[in-house]
């Protein structure tokens, strides 16, 4: 996964950790965006998925995670610019499927799972499927800051329905 800001610098996590409790592939530390004019987050995964339909989510939070007196808190004072234009999510796969959606980021201080799109793997396919996903927010008239990116997750569609109902 890569994260690019208006400086043109591409940030690539050097290591991914496997969390056995959740069975999710996660970046060990959240990416935090301090101040930028535009942001793009892109990722690519090639994997042999069992046949079925899958959903891709971005887990985001507006506000900076801190520890104060041993407790986890979130500073939501410096989160300007996210209420002016929506964030765009896109998803492509190697079967030619494309999905796009957009929404405003909401609820500063809370982790929200945003739906990026769905893709299907045919029942007769045993080949690997390449999935590309992105989150883009380009508006060079307002500075944005205070975005935390925890993870991008792929769930089977039926599991994602239950997850989405719990998170909303």
Structural domain harbouring 147:
2-167
Mind listing the pLDDT tens digit for each residue in 44-53?
999 888 899 9
According to DSSP, residue 36 is labeled: B
**CB neighbour burial string for 60-92, b if at least 16 within 10 angstroms, e if fewer:** bbbbbeeeeeeeeebeeeebebbeeeebbbbbb
Of 39 and 25, the one with more pLDDT: 39
- d(CA 23, CA 48) in angstroms, rounded, equals 17
In CATH, what number is assigned to the domain containing residue 46?
2.60.120
CB 14 within 8 A of CB 108: no
pLDDT at 157: 83
- Residue 11: pLDDT above 80? no
Whole-model pTM over 0.85: no
pLDDT exceeds 70 at position 31: no
Total domains, the chain: 1
pLDDT tens digits for 56-72?
Answer: 999 888 887 777 787 77
* pLDDT over 80 (residue 23): no
The pLDDT value recorded for residue 168 is 38
């Amino acid at each position: 996964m890569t994260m690019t800001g208006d400086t043109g610098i591409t940030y690539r996590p050097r290591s991914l950790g496997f969390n056995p409790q959740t069975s999710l592939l996660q970046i060990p530390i959240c990416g935090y965006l301090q101040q930028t004019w535009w942001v793009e987050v892109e990722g690519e995964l090639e994997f042999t998925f069992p046949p079925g339909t899958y959903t891709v989510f971005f887990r985001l939070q507006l506000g900076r995670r801190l520890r104060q007196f041993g407790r986890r808190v979130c500073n939501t004072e410096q989160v300007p610019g996210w209420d002016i234009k929506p964030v765009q999510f896109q998803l492509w796969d190697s079967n030619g499927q494309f999905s796009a959606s957009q929404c405003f980021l909401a609820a500063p201080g809370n982790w929200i799972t945003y739906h990026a799109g769905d893709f299907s793997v045919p029942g007769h396919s045993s080949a690997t499927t390449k999935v590309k996903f992105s989150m883009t927010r380009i508006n060079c008239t307002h500075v944005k800051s205070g975005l935390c990116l925890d993870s991008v997750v792929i769930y089977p569609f039926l599991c994602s329905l239950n997850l989405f109902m719990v998170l909303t």
